Structure 1
């Protein structure tokens, strides 16, 4: 049985990976400024409590969190606010070919496999940067408060899975002074904040994604399932890979493996060509599902020239449940800006 057959038998599925092209500090600042000024809107206020996994709840008290995002439940008796602002939707154009997603992704996997292995200077570690947005929400009675907080993520990882992560939450953007005052009254953050975590060997990123990322699609699927008692929903593998490529530098063979696995993911479709939030052109592939509660579209954007993952987003498609956002609404976005070998932080 070959790798693809094994993948189909177990489940099928997952998402691409990314090694971004190098850029100087000036370029990085320009990209970050453009992303934050053009695409990041925010709504009302709340106090956040960090959580890792995104959960979409149609009813009940809590809602949202995604790697680095947050959830809070507040008991405030206030009038229902206007809908929170969320990042602008991306515009998708026609796909470059009429091929189905599985065929096109296999072609992109072949492109990834042909890329040269990046050089690694002696004494360097994996270094990655991304810019992210996560919707944070609080619900109490008839009151929901949602806000999108932009975030800059940087990480350094050594071969023995030690390293450092730096998460910088940038100031939320308010629609009015009244929103800001209410946010501050409830104890919400209005300035930038930064969290630095150093990890001992074997503990990088909380111990997830340890060791070498597999270069075979079926082995990669098993690697992602390690520690779980049963197969996850297909979209969960896509989400795991979106998290993975934000903290691990993947070589060409590893990128090819995840694209090949994504090609076998049940429900994957072609979304079209798109210019991402950092001004880069890519091809988008999506899964639409209510696996996490609310119907949502989960999309990855792939660079057709390298097979690298450029971005990932989640969009509520038909209903917001208890969330005070206007449908369709972007609730998560990750823009992968840099993946290279660099000196370890001091």
Structure 2
């Protein structure tokens, strides 16, 4: 997926340079004067200054015409680009993006390392709790497909039950569009009655998890996170891998502590202070900024509660890559982790 994204970026950069080429679509006229004629005219410079002056003026006028055409070409390309960009934004669902969460948005917030390590230290003293065999995860997603010219919107309610033998039941429901400019997510109590839910039963051994079980020690967990997204991809890799694990796994207190300590080692991890997620839950925000494409930058935000449980993951476009028609500071995606427990239930019919 990363490769496709990078290839599209390369294509968009090439297209941008082609549109801004001053000589784009301007044909260079063929040479109409022979080398012998040029030599003869040069020799006449000493014997006929007026002939040389006329030839020089003609050449100068030609160059001026070329510069005029080039300037016009650049102006036209910029004007067309501005019109296309404006029309795209006017017709684009990017303007219907939710409002950013209320948190510290300064350019130089403090490091989040102290909060992460202190919260992790408190968690390591807690009991692991009852270990029921099955896992249940309920989340909601909202995203803009920024790789599509139409900037399509997607929203869904997703529930997952899985057993240790890797049998699973998934329930996926497409949600209506979220209100523009609002912070709170809709349909938190469940999809509308008219929405169709696709329920899929996965037989034993067929459901794929990112890892069998996230580790409770930092070193092992970091290796598992590397298998999901290598840290060499950038500072955002560890943060996104932690968020990905939360889509499938219930993390006990010691596993949560290990995840927080893994995040504390990330270069550029920042403390964004208190916030309230889109489900109305109070928490604390941390973030990492990265540069996924030419000229662009993205902020990944994780919101945690006091017990170290992940409440949400958000992505904000700080500066759109070349060719991407989304305004700066647009929330392009969020995931709400609404519930994650160990349970005896297995599927919608058995859910309490």
* Fold equivalence (TM over 0.5): yes
Report matched runs for 1:89-128 at 5 Å. 89-93=100-104, 100-121=111-132, 124-128=133-137
Contact conserved, 1:145 with 1:324, CA < 8 A, in 2? no
Three-state SS of the structure 2 residue aligned to 1:297 is strand
- Residue equivalent to 2:23: none
The one of 298, 302, 314 aligned to 2:304: 302
1:148 and 2:153 are equivalent in the alignment: yes
Q: Does 1:198 align with 2:212?
A: no
CA distance in structure 1 between the aligned counterparts of 2:303 and 2:239, rounded to whole angstroms: 12
> Structure 1 residue 338: deviation in Å?
0.5
1:146-225 equivalence runs, <5 A: 146-172=151-177, 192-204=195-207, 207-225=208-226
Query: 1:106 aligns to what SS in structure 2?
Result: helix
Structure 2 contact 101–276 (Cα < 8 Å) conserved: yes
Which of 99, 102, 114 is the aligned partner of 1:88?
99
More strand by share: 1
TM-superposed deviation, 1:237: 2.2
Is 1:331 matched with 2:337?
no
Summarize deviations over 1:68-106 as a string: whole Å, max 9, x none.
Answer: xxxxxxxxx9963514221111010599xx973112100
Give 1:24's aligned residue. Answer: none
Matches within 5 A, 1:189-268: 192-204=195-207, 207-226=208-227, 231-268=232-269
Unaligned stretches of 5+ in structure 1? 1-50, 62-76, 176-190
Q: CA deviation at 1:174?
A: 8.5
Residue of structure 1 in register with 2:68 after alignment? none
Q: Secondary structure in 1 aligned to 2:315? A: strand
Whole-Å Cα distance in 2 between the matches of residues 301 and 135 of structure 1? 20
Distance 1:88 1:339, change over 3 A: same
Do the aligned partners of 2:157 and 2:173 also contact (CA within 8 Å) in 1?
yes
For this pair of structures, how many residues does the alignment match?
255
**Cα distance 1:200–1:230, how it changes in 2: closer, same or farther (>3 A)?**
farther
Going from structure 1 to structure 2, the CA distance change for 1:223 and 1:115 (only over 3 Å counts) comes to same
Partner of 1:11: none
Question: What is the root-mean-square deviation in Å for CA atoms of aligned residues?
Answer: 3.3
Q: Give the secondary structure class of the aligned counterpart of 1:317.
A: strand
Tell me how far 1:159 sits from its aligned partner. Answer: 1.3
State the structure with bigger RCO (CA 8 A, min sep 6), 1 or 2: 1
1:209 Cα deviation after fit? 2.2
- The 5 A counterparts of 1:38-53 are none
- CA shift, 1:165, in A, is 2.1
Q: Could you tell me whether the CA contact under 8 Å between 2:229 and 2:238 is conserved in 1?
A: no
TM-score, normalisation: structure 1: 0.64
How much does 1:272 deviate? 1.7
Displacement after TM superposition at 1:135 (Å): 1.0
Q: Which has the higher helix share?
A: 2
Matched residue SS, 1:91 = coil
